[in-house]
Structure 1
């Protein structure tokens, strides 16, 4: 009954706080100077990065013991006066009691419906090509069998530890690798469970390390070694890893703090964990490894990651919008899922601006997704099976995005995608502007016959036969393919 009580108490707070934090936290990962992007020098990294840019569409999963309470991932442990850090429930009044209760969730965390092969199949059918899974979030609970701490999914104190598939990260990576996905390991640099980051002698005041690393260099070295050793385990014992996706951008060298960015001005200490050492080790074990040290501009941020937002215009550097399918990163019992139309429009918009979409779905404490998540993936996949050639392996084409139009291309073949509003009716003709070919043939993806088109001062006026109109009436986005005759 206590778990049900917690879940009902937390749900109302979680949704409200996420609506607040969705903007504020997103700004922390979008408010960044991308002019200082550093292209990789390693040819294997460059090759993998180019492949990653071609696949366009990936799956992110936030999953941990916090799903048992249906609360925001990790952040209720953080003693900051922010909406997304607010505590609720019977232990909320005392932070120490709350932290103890939170860390005790693992004794009942038992996701017996865990079936990563089902997720991998659903994601593949949706047209996704890569996965990023939370091996460890800020709370420090490890979804893999680390040797560095007993706060992990495989420890006997965790209810799921007796399950033969208890090494969850390994099972997830294996299932998705079996469907030819690129595999990414999300890893939080800060760890709010380990005493070498939040030292029990120094109660934490905020998300940062609770002591001054310069004053206690041995303790900070312990944390650096702890972090290095955990990442080394992931790079060594979990099969082929394509992406190391590092979160917690306040753990960074002081020299990288940009004082013009509001949230970075609050970082009180140099928190350098020696990324050169980590990346060097990772690439020695995983050649070509993409390293994404989020918001820390420089050689270890191979691509940038605006969160819950899309840039206003084309960006010439590699980038990825990480966004939620619903409102929250973590599981909540009643999720508000975006419509299929909205999700497809989001993908098209991002690709036309030179980005990838990493779409988050949160598993439940039982180990499955909401039924609506599977439904959305099926519908996205149905659209991509017809129109995917305008997405995968394409490059943005100027003017990239203009009103309801998105422009992509693959060599001499160009695609113009129209994003109709929800109640928009299909016209008998449609005008394509920004046509670069002198005598193009025009096809509508999903429709077998070539379309008749006439050049006018306004552009290429394309006639839509009745059969084409009926096809488009049920489509969330309309893709016109132009080829030189």
Structure 2
């Protein structure tokens, strides 16, 4: 870009005092571009790599070609993964991982907390938390061992959240965990540890949202307005006037200012994750559905799929309507589907009840609630990606560890109903249904012992009961006499199961209740259960 385009910023950049900004959206973006100019050669080289990779392989950078994508078998079989939100936002440990944005918004409790704790945002902003993010007790091998003990088959680490701080050795930014904070390549080290434990490894990128994430800092005297920190805070343009709720199903009316320079930088920074770390999965957050990204997305997908095809296939997840249907793997954030989906999909949610990242005095879900969700998701051909939020020193809250180990113990006994399974002819039976779609968790209804979810695997049908009947019998209405029940076994129990077929369904007389979470699996042999292949 010609230097003359920066002329409107010359006067603004003379003063370094972080007063409230009077820059236009275009000027704010140009200030960010000026801060990032020295990365132009590396960015251009990365974009050339994307173009070459997108042109060499089975996929082409167009939606017609990309709709031929199919998720690899490892993902369809994995069923359960661990998500890790860990970054500078774990240092303030207040509210949730969007603290970096909300601490600049005068209407929020985060702003009040920030001012009460550190004073003026002109003198202590988000950047000042970076030296406090030390990871002094972080042991990636211990993390990987815990995730394996939890029964996870893949792990996804946040490579860069919306806060603009890369947790890897980015060649396109100075604001990285290698150059600042812990001075470690978090993604690189975690990926090696996870692979060493036999698990798949993925990364998430929330970089797109950094375009507007800090824009409330423009409204006040804050360090967001200091051009020295533009590389971290991004353009910080206002999100106008489109949806402010990420659950919105359509971003076509989003008029947030997005420059081509920003889209190019996003594409290069996302693609360098593949070039340098070769993740088995890339998770993209919702805002890539913003119209400005439509031409860049096919390039990224074709490059990633072509490169990943050389190692057996990769997964890229998207939310809402961000990508063309069939071109990638659908992710339903904090929600479920109402029916079986033909192609594998994923839901992601947290152990925490309030945050994806670590916050003090948090509350956590129990193992049984998570296992019920897992059963529902898997019965509909989905995977569950369960998030934890480690402390800034790299340790994991003991309660989170305990829940993960309880899940792992259950999967050790009942994993045949989960790993490698496929949906049966119906996903479930019983009175309880959940609202379908993203962000529906708060409306979730409690399951009962009359609720079952079904899977099939290796010639068996598995009926997962989401509670234990305290006396009486259990009737599974979906299993009819015509199915030809041959045997019923309760996993985790050595006692035989008394059962009988009736016109109302399969009647089971429960025996002794197995120990562990109140989610139980009956392995049922039918005359024709179907297979996975």
What band does the TM-score fall into relative to the shorter chain? 0.7 to 0.9
Query: 1:179 deviation in Å?
Result: 1.6
For 1:73-472, what aligned pairs fall within 5 Å after superposition? 73-77=97-101, 88-90=113-115, 97=122, 101-155=125-179, 158-161=180-183, 166-188=184-206, 189-192=208-211, 195=230, 204-206=237-239, 220-238=259-277, 240-247=278-285, 249-252=286-289, 254=291, 270-272=292-294, 274-287=296-309, 288-295=313-320, 296-298=322-324, 302-327=328-353, 328-403=355-430, 404-410=451-457, 412-420=459-467, 426-427=470-471, 429-435=473-479, 437-465=483-511, 469-471=512-514
TM-score (norm 1): 0.75
Report the CA distance shift for 1:282/1:208 in structure 2 as closer, same or farther (over 3 A).
Answer: farther
Distance 2:295 2:287 in 1: 11
Distance 1:232 1:377 in 2: 32
Distance 2:64 2:150 in 1: 31
CA displacement 1:119-154 (0-9 Å, x = unmatched) = 111111111111111000011000001111111111
Distance 1:96 1:272 in 2: 36
Q: Which moved more, 1:405-414 or 1:452-461?
A: 452-461
| SS of equivalent to 2:283 | strand
Count of matched residue positions in the alignment of Structure 1 and Structure 2? 407
Instruction: Give the corresponding residue for 2:525.
Output: 483
| SS of equivalent to 2:301 | helix
Distance 1:335 1:356 in 2: 25
Report the CA distance shift for 1:89/1:171 in structure 2 as closer, same or farther (over 3 A).
Answer: same
Aligned 8 A contact 2:210 2:234 in 1? no
Query: 1:305 deviation in Å?
Result: 1.5
Q: Which ranges in structure 2 are unaligned for 5 or more consecutive residues?
A: 1-62, 215-228, 243-254, 431-450, 528-533
| SS of equivalent to 1:481 | strand
Query: 1:208 deviation in Å?
Result: 9.4
Aligned 8 A contact 2:84 2:389 in 1? yes
Aligned 8 A contact 1:391 1:408 in 2? yes
Distance 1:253 1:102 in 2: 26
Distance 1:409 1:458 in 2: 22
Query: 1:276 deviation in Å?
Result: 1.8
Distance 2:196 2:155 in 1: 12
Distance 2:346 2:161 in 1: 20
| SS of equivalent to 2:152 | coil
Distance 1:64 1:208 in 2: 29
Instruction: Give the corresponding residue for 2:20.
Output: none
Instruction: Give the corresponding residue for 1:21.
Output: none
Aligned 8 A contact 1:39 1:302 in 2? no
Instruction: Give the corresponding residue for 2:245.
Output: none
Aligned 8 A contact 1:59 1:132 in 2? yes
Distance 1:459 1:235 in 2: 51
Q: Which ranges in structure 1 are unaligned for 5 or more consecutive residues?
A: 1-37, 210-214, 255-269
Report the CA distance shift for 1:84/1:310 in structure 2 as closer, same or farther (over 3 A).
Answer: farther
Distance 1:148 1:350 in 2: 38
Aligned 8 A contact 1:452 1:463 in 2? yes
Report the CA distance shift for 1:136/1:459 in structure 2 as closer, same or farther (over 3 A).
Answer: same
Instruction: Give the corresponding residue for 2:23.
Output: none
Report the CA distance shift for 1:138/1:457 in structure 2 as closer, same or farther (over 3 A).
Answer: same
| SS of equivalent to 1:226 | helix
Report the CA distance shift for 1:110/1:197 in structure 2 as closer, same or farther (over 3 A).
Answer: closer
CA displacement 1:75-124 (0-9 Å, x = unmatched) = 542677886975632289999628x6101211221011111111111111
Report the CA distance shift for 1:455/1:292 in structure 2 as closer, same or farther (over 3 A).
Answer: closer
- The correspondence for 2:79, drawn from 56, 68, 82, is 56
Query: 1:410 deviation in Å?
Result: 2.0
